A and B are shown apart, each in its own frame.
Chain A
Amino acid sequence: MIYSDAIMDYAKLRKYRGKIENAHRIEEGKNVSCGDEITLYLVFDGDRVAEVKFEGQGCAISQASTNVMIEVVTGKTKEEVIEIAKNAENMVLGREFEAGLLGPVLLFQEVGKYPMRVKCFLLPWKTLQIALER
């Protein structure tokens, strides 16, 4: 089962939910096929991702993935974040990846077994990548 206690706890986490009024970047992401939507609010400190919050809704996997992502990327440089995002994607797509970079993202490794759920996991990561590359 992909719904481990740890993932369920992350799905229910409230800490990163909400708007940031003066965010430097706001990015909306959507999974057209299922209707899941998130909006990421990003605050930078120079080259670092200083704070991230999100609004939106979706399944437990996409919500937990968003919370874990925010926990992992906060305080990292944009370059580091892009590297982590690539490895997270590689992990879930069954390609080679560097486990050392991922921390709690590794909780989602099993999601790769369910092709229909991969996009739930990837929604926040894809949205973040687009936000950083703009």
Chain B
Amino acid sequence: MPLRVSFDDFPTLGKKVNGKRLVYLDNAATTLKPKPVLEKMVDFYIGSYSNVHRAVHTLASRATVAYEEARMKVAKFLNADPSEVIFTSGATMGINLVVNSLLRSGILREGDVVLLSQAEHHANLVPWIRLSKFHGFGIAYIEVNEKGVLTEEAILRGKEYKPKIVSVTGHSNVTGQVIPLEFVREVFEDAILVVDGAQLVPHKRLDVKDLGLDFLVFSGHKMLGPTGVGVLYGRKDLLEVMEPFLYGGEMIDKVSFEEVTFNEIPYKFEAGTQNIAGVVGLGYALDYLEALGFDSLEEHVRDLTEYLIEELSKLEFVELYGPLDHSHVSIVSFNVEGIHPHDVAHVLDQEFGVAVRSGHHCAQPLVRALARGTKLSNFPNSTVRASVYLYNTKEDVDVMVEGLKKLKGWFG
């Protein structure tokens, strides 16, 4: 079924930037927010807002019900149990929680090996790297090829490290590659599998049980939801034996001056007052996406990605990165020969109203790895990145491509 997006729901797209129609192609950084989601959040704030799980008054009970409804929606979306859904501030916090709690519970120990990939966002690199310095576990990498792609052969080679934990992205925010998670699970049968779903989840309905994921993290703001809220899915038996990450109110059972026992899952991982309206808003965003249909969304984004790659490939002065095949979804990184990505992005914005990202996309090692395959005379250690989502059209791609042609002419 074709995707039926109401553009009235995204008034931002009707605004002009620099006198031009806004062409928003920075969805991998964050998505626009549908007006109905925002309106429902306002209604919630006005009519049902209070702190959750604590007081007995009417507003408190409405807020608690709304908050727990959001948890139920997420659980259903992932095919998880609600007790396995922990609300966080985002993907970054989710990874930090997993690493710290695994260490504190002795599940990850000195001498163990954690296998990451070279395609990771800093959020799935830095917590592991830093904590390995204090706790003496080892880190190994699945290597990317010269296009920044993780091949099945490379994934298989990771086996030789006998990792206890495998933590990989589900969808690279630089190359746009969707990682074959079924294959990863198959290869590392006994490892604890952590998936960074920050880019994948906004595009695909995942079944965590079917895929055999042990942990999955993602952020609400990349899937039409508000900022400051995200989800950690964790397998129940693991969560139950894991030490909490943050300590404080709500996550406790009994507290004396000497001892503390913890609340049950998921509450033991939700210390302090949560981002209540954010959680509720994420639930609304999920409703919105489900109403559109994930299958239609996926098809729309795949078609657009294909078109984007096709059109960019026609420009002989553009170098493209990533797999450029069926596994390439939404995100396309490229460079314009002789023009630095910041200059490309600046001119696209100022002269054509096109919002794209330029830089290293919080994945410095991966972007540096792209230098191995470059044919540019001077690889800038950064790229331009265009990323499409449900409200983008072929016309958006055309505006950018025309912009690139003109810009190449101006800069020479």
Which residues of A line the B interface, CB within 8 A? 1-3, 8, 33-37, 57-61, 114, 117, 120
Which of B342, B347, B350, B410 interacts with A34 by CB under 8 Å?
B342
How many pairs of residues, A versus B, come closer than 8 Å at their CB atoms? 46
Return the 6 tightest CB-CB contacts between A and B, nearest first: A59-B342, A59-B340, A35-B360, A34-B359, A35-B382, A60-B343
- Chain A residues closer than 8 Å to B364, beta-carbon distance: 35
Known interface pairs A8-B411, A59-B340, A117-B342; A35-B367 also in contact (CB < 8 Å): yes
- Chain B residues closer than 8 Å to A1, beta-carbon distance: 347, 350-351
Known interface pairs A57-B381, A58-B340, A60-B340; A34-B346 also in contact (CB < 8 Å): no
- Chain A residues closer than 8 Å to B347, beta-carbon distance: 1, 3
Which of B360, B380, B411 interacts with A57 by CB under 8 Å?
B380
- Chain B residues closer than 8 Å to A59, beta-carbon distance: 340-343, 346
Which size bracket describes the interface of B in this complex? 20 to 34
- Chain B residues closer than 8 Å to A33, beta-carbon distance: 359
22 A-B pairs within 8 Å (CB atoms) are namely A1-B347, A1-B351, A2-B346, A3-B343, A3-B347, A3-B411, A33-B359, A34-B360, A34-B382, A35-B360, A35-B364, A57-B381, A58-B342, A58-B380, A59-B340, A59-B342, A59-B346, A60-B343, A61-B343, A117-B342, A117-B346, A120-B342
Which residues of B line the A interface, CB within 8 A? 339-343, 346-347, 350-351, 358-360, 364, 367, 378, 380-382, 410-411
Cβ contact within 8 Å between B340 and A35: no
| Known interface pairs A58-B380, A60-B340; 5 further A-B residue pairs with C-beta atoms within 8 A, sorted by A's residue number | A3-B343, A35-B364, A57-B381, A59-B343, A59-B346
- Chain A residues closer than 8 Å to B351, beta-carbon distance: 1
Assembly CA distance A34 to B342 (angstroms): 8
Assembly CA distance A8 to B360 (angstroms): 24
> Distance in Å from the Cβ of A3 to the closest Cβ of chain B?
7
Assembly CA distance A60 to B358 (angstroms): 14
Assembly CA distance A57 to B374 (angstroms): 16
> Distance in Å from the Cβ of A1 to the closest Cβ of chain B?
7
Assembly CA distance A36 to B341 (angstroms): 11
Assembly CA distance A35 to B346 (angstroms): 16
Which of A3, A35, A61, A114 interacts with B381 by CB under 8 Å?
A35
User: Taking CB as reference atom, which chain B residue is nearest A114?
Assistant: B346
User: Taking CB as reference atom, which chain A residue is nearest B367?
Assistant: A35
Assembly CA distance A117 to B398 (angstroms): 26
